[in-house]
Structure 1
Amino acid sequence: MIASRTRQRLKEEWLLWLFAALAIALAVLDPQPLASYRRWLQLPTLAGMMGLLIAIQGIRDSGLVQHAAVAMVARAHSLRGLGLLLVSATALLSMVLTNDVSLFLIVPLTLAIGAVSNLPVLRMVVLEALAVNAGSTLSPIGNPQNLLLWQHSQLPFLHFAAAMLPAAAVMFVLVAAFTLLWLPRDRVALSPERIDGVVASNRLGTCSMAALLGMVLLMEYGQAPLGALLLLALFALLARSSLARIDWLLLLTFAAIFLGLGHFANLPLVHQALDRLDFGQPLTLYASGIVASQLISNVPATVLLLERTPDAIALAVAVNVGGFGVAIGSLANLIALRLAKQPHGLRLLHLVSIPFLLVCAPLVYLAWRWLG
C-alpha cells in the first residue's frame, strides 16, 4: 500500500523529472567541473528552504495556524475584505522576510482559513503569489535578485528602495485591484462543523515559532546550512512525526531546477546570443530581463545579465516584473502552488499570471521611466 502511494506520488512529480532530465542531459552534452555544479546547486538556498519547511510543519502540527485562522475569519465580514487583508499582509511580509518566507507563513494560514470558511483557496493562493512578487520588489532584501543587485550596486538601502518604489507601487495596485475584482462579493460564511481552533501542542508551537525566527536570522547572516542541521536534529529528537510529513520532494525539485537552469544559463550559445544585444538601451535591458526570467527564472536571469548592464536598478525592475508570467519566472510561484497542493493550480496560475504580466510590464516601464 505504501509502495503504491509512493509510486503514484513520484508519477505526479513531473516538474522534478523534467528538470532532472534537463540537468542530466546538459551534464552529458556539456560536462563541467564539479565546482560549477556545486555553485549552481545553491546549497545555502536549499538549506534555508529545508529549515523553513521543518519549522512551518511544526507550527502546522501544533495547531497554531488553525487557531489563527479561526480568529481571523471570526473578525472578517466579506471575502473581498479578507482577501485584501491576506494580500496586503503577504506583500508587507515579503518586504522584510523575503518572498519565500512570506509564503511559508501565509499559504498554510490561507489553507486553514479555507478549511473553515467559503474562501476560494486556490484563487487566494494565486493572488498571494502575485503579491509576494509585488511586495518584495520594493525591498533590497525582499528577494534573492534584489539582494544580489543591491550588494552589487553598493547603493544605500533607502536609495535602492526609493528607486524601486514606482515599479512596486504599480504592481501592488494592480494586485489589489485584481483581488477586489476576482474574489466573490459574498460575506464570509463559517462551517461550524469544521472549526477546531484548539492548539494541540503549545510546546511544539512555541519551539517551532522560535525555530522559524532563528532560521530567518541565520539565513540573514549566511548560516542557513547550520540552521537547517540544528532544526533537523531538534525535530528528530522532539517531533519526529513532523519530519515525516515534510514535503522532501519539493527540495529535490528545486535542486533539479537549480542544476538544470544554472547549467543552461551558462551555455556558450546563450552567451553568444546575449553578446548581440545592446544593454545600454533601457527598453532592450527591460525586455531582456523579462524574457530571460520567463525562460530560466528571475534569479538565474539576474546572474546572467548582471555583468552586462550598467544600471542595476533597471535590471532589478526588469527581473522583478519577470517574476510574473509563467510559473518558472519566480520560484516563489512554484513554492506557493506546492504548499497549497490544490488541483489545477498550475493552470489557474498561468491563466492569471500571464495576462497580468502583459498588463503590468508596460505600466511598470512607463512608471519607472517617468518617475524613477
Structure 2
Amino acid sequence: MLSQTLVLLFRPFLRDRFLHILLVLGAVLTVFQTEKVTQFANFVDWNTIVTLLGLLMLTKGVEISGYFDVVGRKMINTLDNERWLALFLVAAAAVLSTFMTNDVALFIVVPLTITLKKLTSLPVTKLIIFEALAVNAGSLLTPVGNPQNILLWSRSGLSFLHFIGQMAPLALASMAALLVVTWVSFPSHALKKKESQQNSAFSKPLLTACVVLYLLFIVCVDLGLAMYGLIAVFIGFMLMSRQVLLRIDWPLILVFIIMFIDVRLIVSIGPLQQALGSIAGLPEYGHYLLGMGLSQIISNVPATILLVNYIPANALLAYAVNAGGFGLAIGSLANLIAMRMSGEKKIWLLFHCYSFPFLLLSGVVGWILLAWIN
C-alpha cells in the first residue's frame, strides 16, 4: 500500500519534462552563482505558492467528487446543436477559469471534451483550441484565475473585488470576441449522438465541503492569512478524502518554485543586470510591449515573475502579460497543456491560426482600455 502511494506521488515528477528543463537550467545557473544557494528560499514568493496550492487542492476535490461528470452528462443530453454545445463549453471553460487557475480548468474541460468525441460528432480538435483561448480570456478577470494574477494580486495590495474591477474591461472584450468567433466557427446543426456510457459516482458531501472550504480559503487569502486557509483546506481533505491530496498536481507547485529561483538567478547575471536595470526607465508603452513580448518567449508566468521586480504590479503589467498568453503556444502554460492533452499533432498549427489574431486583438484593445481607465 505504501509503495503504491509513493509511486502515485513521484511518478508525475519523473514524467514532467518542463520541470526537468527548469531544474537543469537552475543547476547550470547555480554553478556560476554558488553563493546564492542560501538565498533560494527568499527568492520564492511563498504567498503565491500557498494560494496556488490551496486552489489546486480545492479543484481536485471538486473533480474527485464526480460533480463535473454529472454536469457533463446532463449537458450532452440537453444540447443537441453543435453551435450551442460549443458555445456552452467555451463559456464553461472561461467561467471555471475565473475561480480556478486556467491550467486546472483545462484539466476538467478538455477530458470532458475528448469524451464527447466518443459520444457525439463534435469537431473536438477545434473545440479544444477555443477552450484554451477561453481559459486565457476568462482567467484574466480574477486574482485567482491564473498564476500571474495570483502573483500580481499579492504584490498590488488591491482587494479581491478591486482587482476584478481593474481586469473586467479586458476580460469582457476578449470573451465577447471569442464568443463571436465561436458562433461563426461552429455550424448550427444537430449532433449525431452515440450511446451514452455509465455514469460515475457522485459525492455530494465532498462537493459541499469543497464549496465551504473554497469560500473560507478565499476570505483568508483576501485578509492576508493564506497559510491559515491552506491549513484548513489540508485538514478538511485529510478528514474527508485523502486521495485528493495524493492526486493534485504536485509537480506544478515545484515548477513555480523553481521558476522563482531560476528567474532570480537569471537576473543576477552581470550583463543582464545592466539591461534589466534600464527597464524601469522605459515609457509605459515600452513596459506594455515588453510584457507581451517576453510572454511570447518565456511564457507569461516567468515574464511576470521577472518584470514584477522592475515594474509596479499595476493594470498595465497585468494587461500586458495576460494578453501575452495568446500568440505562440508557449505564451501560456495553459496552451501547452491543452495542446498536449488533445493528442493531435495537427492541432499545433491550427491553434496559432486562431491565437495570433487574439494576441493582436487583446494587445490593441488592452492598450486602448488602459488609456481610457487612466
Deviations 1:65-114 (A, max 9, x none): 1111122222223232222233334435555x3x61x6535641553354
- Normalising by structure 2, report the TM-score: 0.76
* Separation (CA, whole Å) in 1 of partners of 2:107 and 2:131: 8
Gaps of 5+ in 2: none
Distance 1:241 1:83, change over 3 A: same
The counterpart of 2:325, out of the listed 323, 326, 339, is 323
- Structure 2 residue matching 1:115: 3-state secondary structure: helix
- Which residue does 1:343 correspond to in 2? 343
1:79 equivalenced with 2:82 (yes/no):
yes
CA contact (8 A) 1:145 1:298 kept: yes
1:39-118 alignment, distance < 5 Å? 39-92=42-95, 94-95=97-98, 97=99, 100=101, 104-105=104-105, 107-112=107-112, 114-116=114-116, 117-118=119-120
- Higher alpha-carbon deviation: 136-145 or 16-25: 136-145
* Separation (CA, whole Å) in 2 of partners of 1:201 and 1:176: 33
1:1-372 alignment, distance < 5 Å? 12-31=15-34, 33=36, 36-92=39-95, 94-95=97-98, 97=99, 100=101, 104-105=104-105, 107-112=107-112, 114-116=114-116, 117-118=119-120, 119-120=122-123, 123-138=126-141, 143=146, 145=148, 167-183=170-186, 186-196=189-199, 199-276=201-278, 279-302=281-304, 304-306=306-308, 308=310, 312-333=314-335, 337=338, 341-344=341-344, 347=348, 351=352, 355-356=356-357, 358-360=359-361, 363-364=364-365, 367-368=368-369, 371=372
Shift of 1:172: 2.4
Shift of 1:349: 8.4
- Normalising by structure 1, report the TM-score: 0.76
CA contact (8 A) 2:49 2:253 kept: yes
Using the aligned pairs only, state the percent identity: 30
* Separation (CA, whole Å) in 2 of partners of 1:122 and 1:355: 18
- Structure 1 residue matching 2:31: 3-state secondary structure: helix
Distance 1:139 1:200, change over 3 A: closer
Shift of 1:325: 2.8
CA contact (8 A) 1:107 1:125 kept: no
Alignment-mate amino acid for residue 115 of structure 2: A
Shift of 1:262: 4.0
Deviations 1:150-190 (A, max 9, x none): 78777899887677565444422332233334446553444
Deviations 1:324-355 (A, max 9, x none): 23444334445x539x8432589468635652
* Separation (CA, whole Å) in 2 of partners of 1:238 and 1:155: 33
RMSD: 4.2
Count of matched residue pairs = 366
Alignment-mate amino acid for residue 16 of structure 1: L
Distance 1:150 1:208, change over 3 A: closer
Deviations 1:236-265 (A, max 9, x none): 344234433333333333333333234324
- Higher alpha-carbon deviation: 41-50 or 351-360: 351-360
Alignment-mate amino acid for residue 276 of structure 2: L
Alignment-mate amino acid for residue 111 of structure 1: P
Alignment-mate amino acid for residue 48 of structure 2: T
Alignment-mate amino acid for residue 55 of structure 1: L
Shift of 1:21: 0.7
Distance 1:279 1:291, change over 3 A: farther
Gaps of 5+ in 1: none
CA contact (8 A) 1:110 1:121 kept: no
Alignment-mate amino acid for residue 323 of structure 1: G
- Structure 2 residue matching 1:200: 3-state secondary structure: coil
* Separation (CA, whole Å) in 1 of partners of 2:59 and 2:248: 9
CA contact (8 A) 1:279 1:285 kept: no
Distance 1:341 1:153, change over 3 A: closer
